[in-house]
Amino acid sequence: EEQTMNVYLRVRPFSQEELSENQDQDCIVIETNQMVTLTAPKGSATMKSSEKGVGTSLHKFSFSQIFGPETTQAELFEHTVKNQMNGFLGGKNALIFSYGVTNAGKTHTIQGTPKDPGILPRVLDATFQHIEGRQYEGMDLKPYLRNDAQYLAPDQVKQERSAKATILASVKEKCDLPRPGGGSESLSSLSSSLSSSSLSSEASDCGRVSAEAASGQFALWVAFFEIYKESVHDLLQPSLCSKSRKRASLRVCDDGAGNAYVKDLRWVNIQNREEAFKLLHCGNKNRHAAATKMNQSSSRSHSIFTMKLLKVEDTEVTWLSEFSLCDLAGSERCSRTKTFGERLKEAGNINSSLLILGKCITALHNNQTDRMKSSYIPFRESKLTKLFQAFFCGRGKASMIVNINQCASTYDETLHVMKFSAVAKQVVQVIPEKPLEPLAPCLVGHDGKPVVRNGLADSRALERYLSEEELLDEEEEADVSLLPENELVDMIESLRDQLAAERKRNLVQEIAIRKEMGDAMLQQLMEGEERRSQQIEELKETYQERLESTFEMYKDAIKEHAYESALSQLEDNYVPLDEFLAEQQTVEALKRQVSELESLRGASGGVRAPPTVDQSCQTQPSKAAAEADDHWARLSREKAAIERLCEEKQQLNVSLERRLIELTETLEKVRRDFLDKSAEVELLQKKV
């Protein structure tokens, strides 16, 4: 079965408010049930661009089917989902996702209201209608990984029951079961017609399915989760409503066969409509509670409700089908939401996962139009596309419902949505006629070991597709707990060896690094030491110089002092030079006279006493002798005075010399003190 992806357009009616705001400007005109024309309103960016000659203000788009504002929920269900519903009840996988800007009617389409139920409650209702009376009541067969089923041990069943009871008990409000809306058709009558038509269509498609459908039992399990800022959160956790607890983020893992699944997601077995709607209500409540707690609108996350139907025959699961309904976040761009900070990040995340969805669809389309080309499809770049990948790769049928409003103010965004859907519409889906091997579930025991595949024990196949390499290939996303025990042991051993080798390598590296660091530190220390001793030397030199200059200063001061005191003493005893020379000549003359007289006395025999006054007055020669005696006496007096002067000078000299010695000693003492001090300084510097 090869066909393009079904892309439906639903145009929602104007609200009273929008009409009063003059939003109705005939922007969207439904030409036929497959063709729509968009005309850019005045003031829109598209119109401005077209006025500048860039692009056009008129766009035409075709869809698988277009549903106008008057379309009822029942009509939409009838013409969009019914086919896939048949497939789901017959063992095929199906995905329906709604796409559009905020306030375009996505949630209304998927969930609707209790009075006017959307696709999801209708699918649930139709499913129960179909399996009524054939429900497998034991809860011991549960979906496992993406496409497999698992036997549960009695204590595991007990846990499942109590978990379910807790969730259901958390929904205190009475849930209004969806009732038929404006259409004349009731949900029950619709689903009964659907199930009979599904059976008849299956019968016409494939007799085997019909025969299978008639016998056996069904177990229905559901999960409800959301993707917000690339984090997956379970919406069926009763604790979510409590304000204090932080929401756990779940991992999207690979089951080893290329199928992504949400690890640790809660799957709840439901037995009737009431339980189903209670779960839906609980999930919605959790979604709103989380959104309020984070101060954001729930339309900022992608919510996914998934049902898994297990066909049970003689306690064996013969097939398993999946039906996912995804209410995507609003596709508006940052420029429109004008968000900043956290909001900008949030908007970026929403847009990035939608952008990746767009890229995947474009790449798929490109690869299909040009078979020679094989461009990379970035399914694994976002959690949303990872989970959707299986549907685009032939493991189920995907349909998109594009929701738009007709408001002139959101025209540019609406045009963007339409362009995206135009590409999506061209994507060809190849659904193999026979279910692919992974669609036939592999039944594993509660210990995770495969028990039955297509009725045969097939442990090798499981081991093969869960091989270590494949799991490790998925980087951190692989779920190692899926490996068989012996492989786990081997893996642990090899990891242990790797760890030991790694540790060894790390140790060697650490030693090398430590050595390198030690050398560098030593080098630094040595350089520092060198710098310090250089500084000390310089300091020493400076002190030495200062000391010497102080010493010189003292010496000069002392010299000056000595000179000054000598000068003052000299001044005291100053005799002018002329006087001194005259005096000296006199002394010389007198000395000469003395020696003449002495020679005279020697000649007159013996030593004579100095002449008396009487004797001098006796004769002329004696008068001369008396004069000579006077002269002699005067000379002797002068001589004595000179000798005294000389003696005084001598004493002055001695005292000066003594003073000099004293000063020298003082200087020596000062020098010694200085040396002591500098030694102390040096010691202190060394200590420093």
Ligand X SMILES: Nc1ncnc2c1ncn2[C@@H]1O[C@H](COP(=O)(O)OP(=O)(O)OP(=O)(O)O)[C@@H](O)[C@H]1O
Q: Does 12 bind ligand X (CB under 6 A)?
A: yes
On whether the CB atoms of residues 39 and 61 are closer than 8 A, the answer is no
Q: Candidates 106-114, 198-206, 210-218, 463-471: pick the segment binding ligand X (CB under 6 A).
A: 106-114
Select 41 or 330, whichever has its Cβ closest to ligand X: 330
Percent of the chain that is helix, strand, coil (3-state, to 5): 55, 15, 25
Q: Which of 46, 84, 93, 107 binds ligand X (CB under 6 A)?
A: 107
Select 71 or 678, whichever has its Cβ closest to ligand X: 71
Q: Burial, 244: exposed, middle or buried (Cβ in 10 Å; 0-12, 13-18, 19+)?
A: exposed
The least CB distance from residue 233 to ligand X, in Å, is 17
On whether the CB atoms of residues 64 and 56 are closer than 8 A, the answer is no
Q: What is the CA radius of gyration of the chain?
A: 59
Q: Does 421 bind ligand X (CB under 6 A)?
A: no
Q: Does 283 bind ligand X (CB under 6 A)?
A: no
Q: Does 106 bind ligand X (CB under 6 A)?
A: yes
- Give how far Cα 149 sits from Cα of 276, 518, 535, Å: 21, 60, 82
CB neighbourhood size of 374 (10 A): 10
**207 known member of a binding site:** no
**414 known member of a binding site:** no
Site map 537..576 versus ligand X, x via CB under 6 A: ----------------------------------------
The least CB distance from residue 101 to ligand X, in Å, is 7
Q: Which of 90, 91, 100, 216 binds ligand X (CB under 6 A)?
A: 100
**102 known member of a binding site:** yes
Q: What span, in angstroms and rounded, lies between the C-alpha atoms of 245 and 247?
A: 6
Q: Does 385 bind ligand X (CB under 6 A)?
A: no
Q: Candidates 102-110, 128-136, 259-267, 419-427: pick the segment binding ligand X (CB under 6 A).
A: 102-110
**246 known member of a binding site:** no
Q: Candidates 99-107, 163-171, 317-325, 558-566: pick the segment binding ligand X (CB under 6 A).
A: 99-107
Any residues with CB less than 8 A from the CB of 17 and at least 6 apart, and which? none
On whether the CB atoms of residues 249 and 232 are closer than 8 A, the answer is yes
**107 known member of a binding site:** yes
Query: Can you count the helices (H) and strands (E) in the chain?
Result: 20, 20
**103 known member of a binding site:** yes
Q: Which of 46, 102, 191, 259 binds ligand X (CB under 6 A)?
A: 102
The least CB distance from residue 404 to ligand X, in Å, is 9
**258 known member of a binding site:** no
CB neighbourhood size of 361 (10 A): 24
Q: Which of residues 114-153 bind ligand X (CB under 6 A)?
A: none
Q: Does 303 bind ligand X (CB under 6 A)?
A: no
Any idea of the CA torsion for 448, 265, 384, 390, to the nearest 10 degrees? 30
**104 known member of a binding site:** yes
Q: What span, in angstroms and rounded, lies between the C-alpha atoms of 397 and 460?
A: 30
In a 13 Å sphere around the CA of 293, the CA atoms on its Cβ side amount to 14
Q: Candidates 97-105, 302-310, 504-512, 594-602: pick the segment binding ligand X (CB under 6 A).
A: 97-105
Q: Strand pairing of 217-228 and 268-270?
A: antiparallel
Reduce the DSSP state of residue 58 to 3 states and report it: strand
Q: Strand locations in 266-337, DSSP E? A: 268-270, 302-313, 316-327
Select 106 or 365, whichever has its Cβ closest to ligand X: 106
The least CB distance from residue 72 to ligand X, in Å, is 8
Interface residues toward ligand X, by CB under 6 A:
12-13, 100, 102-108, 299, 330, 403
Could you list the residues known to form a binding site for ATP, using ranges. Answer: 100-107
Could you list the residues known to form a binding site, using ranges. Answer: 100-107
